[in-house]
Amino acid sequence: MDSTSTSNHDIEPSKIKFHYDEEEQVEQDETVTESSNIEIDEDTSTCDPTTAAVDDDDSMVVGGDKTSSDYYFDSYSHFGIHEEMLKDVVRTKTYQNVIYKNSFLFKDKVVLDVGAGTGILSLFCAKVGAKHVYAIECSSMADMAQEIVKHNGFSDVITIIKGKVEEIDLPVPQVDIIISEWMGYFLLYENMLDTVLYARDKWLVKDGLVLPDKASLCLTAIEDADYKEDKIEFWNSVYGFDMSCIRKQAMMEPLVDTVDQNQIVTNCQLLKTMDISKMTSGDASFTAPFKLVAERDDYIHAFVAYFDVSFTRCHKLMGFSTGPKSRGTHWKQTVLYLEDVISVCQGEAVVGSMTVAPNRKNPRDVDIMLKYSLNGRHCIVSRTQYYRMR
């Protein structure tokens, strides 16, 4: 489906079987639906105007003069982050099974691995008979990947290229397949998707494969009084001193953490589906409406975002979800705390929209504008809040 195709409805659970290893089969109650561009008219009120300038004013942000790119590639030089990703069974086993169970897609094909890290995806591809794999890695982990390839006897099949995708030259004019594990927290943090799209437009043959080819961002709402008190309200009085200036910054920074599914108060709504094989870079900036309907009487303290990834060109649909009802991943979920404590009754709907875009100064960061409103029996609220993933 095109990245801009739309429909607006609640997510209805469907059974998708994801295989993590040869013996274990895990069945997920997750969904794949389409995004929506339907506009919702609502009354909004801005919060503290000092936070509204999140795009341009870093004066209130600690370390605001540093760019994310200053840290990005160096962070991937440390083995610890690769250990965490490799031990993420949902992530790594899904990629392995996509490749091993669909070897016909890779046999005698030229593959480009974007952001290769240790080279694990390249090794998977080589093992099932890829003609050649070009693995691009900008960090110093490229040197380790070269040794790993040599030790495993694939030096004649895998070529490690150290450098930025946008700056290197491939030894071949085109590739048949591009594979990459580009997803960041909140799906789009670190902005590696742009690099995949650049490689696609420059080297992928007509009708070539991009894996994965679909990614969807979803939203739900949770009760989280205790943790919000511990992480946010804590700053109002610290050993008797007012440190509420830090609270303002803490509210603007989404929290990456694991959410207990029992905290979920509403339905889960799909915000945006991206077709990586067709989309443009600009499609990763969007505004999407939402309507979250309470499934019980409760309080809402935060919205929670997560993403699903699909490999639709396989013999059978394969993929995984990072949602709170699914097996845990290193991406966890992204929690956006609200200024308001929303009292909601079963059947009432919190409506609004989320606007997502790369930060203009540091494109690897993500700016989020969240508008929400409720006209309920016990609570009437309308607000706009700003966040920045950094």
Rounded Cα distance between 135 and 117, Å, is 9
Q: Distances in Å between the alpha carbon of 25 and those of 20, 145, 211, 318? A: 7, 30, 21, 12
> Catalytic residue positions?
181, 190
Q: Prior bond to 212 cis, omega within 30?
A: yes
H-helix or E-strand spanning residue 209? strand 204-211
Strand partners, 220: 304
Token pair of 18, please? Answer: 């994801």
Contact 369, 384 (CB under 8 A): yes
Q: Is 105 in a helix, a strand, or coil?
A: helix
Burial call 219-233: b when 16+ CB within 10 Å, e when fewer: bbbbbbeebbeebbe
Which residues have CB under 8 Å from 99's CB, separation 6+?
Answer: 106, 121, 124, 125, 128, 179
Q: How many CB atoms lie within 10 A of CB 237?
A: 11
H-helix or E-strand spanning residue 208? strand 204-211
Contact 216, 320 (CB under 8 A): no
Indicate the residue type of 302. A
Q: How many CB atoms lie within 10 A of CB 63?
A: 9
Indicate the residue type of 174. Q
For residue 96, count CB atoms less than 10 angstroms from its CB and return exposed for 0-12, middle for 13-18, buried for 19 or more.
buried
